[in-house]
């Protein structure tokens, strides 16, 4: 089968329902601080003792659960916090009180306490994201080997096609295919050697780094 996708299409699809609101009702969703949801509160980033959490109470049942877990059952019946409409009107207060509560403990403690009860997620840095066990369970980081024995790790192709093994090979090193491409273009060995000596082309010859001629993708002269 042929699979056609592009980065632009993926980015556009991430508009999701704000895009649907505009296309069908002409609603242009504005920007909110901390990646906040336009109408659901709480649903945004909140500070912890050592980082950030994203908490999303997308159903009314989650607010009482969150209030109890944070040690503030009085929030449940507070007139300014009692439902979505009230919390939206008082978004700044919600942000302030949740920050104050969550900053009493590190992110890991809150994840352990809240996970499975309300929608919650930690905010990872690059190292934490790539070392996440789920990433390895999904084979989302793969190893690549070079002909000279070197190895590298890279993020895997996100497209998964059942029953099809997608290409998995290291990119050529700088100038790896210069000799083959220039020879194909009509340059003889002496001319290629002269170009290299003058610094016109990058890299070393295949003989010098132990890699045979290859007709694969070129790094370019």
pLDDT tens digit sequence for 128-163:
999 999 999 999 999 988 878 888 898 988 888 888
Among 90, 108, 123, which residue terminates a domain? 123
Among 91, 123, 155, which residue terminates a domain? 123
**Mean predicted lDDT score pLDDT of the chain:** 88
User: How many domains does the chain contain in total?
Assistant: 2
Does residue 104 fall inside a structural domain?
yes
Same domain, residue pair 113 and 183: no
Among 123, 140, 161, which residue terminates a domain? 123
pLDDT tens digit sequence for 64-80:
999 999 999 999 999 99
CATH number, domain of 39, equals 3.30.1540.10
Coil, helix or strand at residue 200: coil
Same domain, residue pair 112 and 184: no
The whole domain housing 44 covers 33-123
Does residue 194 fall inside a structural domain?
yes
- Terminal C-alpha separation, the chain: 34
- Mean pLDDT over 209-216 rounds to 39
The answer to whether 141 and 204 are in contact (CB under 8 A) is: no
Does residue 197 fall inside a structural domain?
yes
DSSP notation for 110-133:
HHHHHTTTS-EEE---HHHHHT-H
Does residue 43 fall inside a structural domain?
yes
Does residue 163 fall inside a structural domain?
no
Question: Could you tell me where the beta strands, DSSP code E, fall in 39-102?
Answer: 43-47, 52-56
Minimum mean pLDDT range among 17-21, 135-139, 167-171: 167-171
- pLDDT for residue 205: 54
pLDDT tens digit sequence for 87-101:
999 999 999 999 999
**Confidence (pTM):** 0.69
Does residue 69 fall inside a structural domain?
yes
DSSP tag of 33: G
């Amino acid at each position: 089968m042929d699979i056609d996708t592009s980065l632009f299409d993926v980015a556009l699809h991430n508009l999701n329902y704000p895009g649907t609101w505009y296309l069908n009702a002409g609603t242009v969703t504005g920007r909110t601080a901390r990646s906040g949801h336009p109408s659901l509160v709480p649903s945004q980033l909140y500070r912890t003792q050592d980082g950030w959490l994203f908490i999303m109470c997308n159903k009314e049942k989650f607010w009482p659960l969150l209030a109890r877990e944070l040690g503030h059952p009085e929030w449940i019946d507070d007139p300014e916090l009692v439902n979505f409409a009230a919390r939206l009107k008082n978004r700044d207060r919600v942000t302030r009180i949740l920050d104050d509560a969550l900053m009493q403990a590190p992110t890991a403690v809150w994840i352990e306490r809240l996970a499975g009860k309300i929608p919650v997620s930690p905010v990872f840095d690059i190292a934490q994201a790539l070392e996440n066990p789920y990433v390895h369970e999904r084979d989302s980081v793969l190893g690549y080997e070079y002909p000279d024995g070197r190895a590298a790790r890279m993020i895997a192709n996100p497209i998964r096609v059942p029953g099809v093994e997608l290409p998995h090979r290291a990119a050529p090193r700088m100038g790896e295919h210069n000799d083959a491409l220039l020879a194909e273009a009509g340059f003889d060995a002496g001319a290629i050697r002269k170009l290299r000596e003058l610094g016109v082309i990058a890299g070393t010859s295949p003989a010098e780094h132990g890699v045979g001629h290859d007709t694969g993708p070129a790094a370019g002269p």
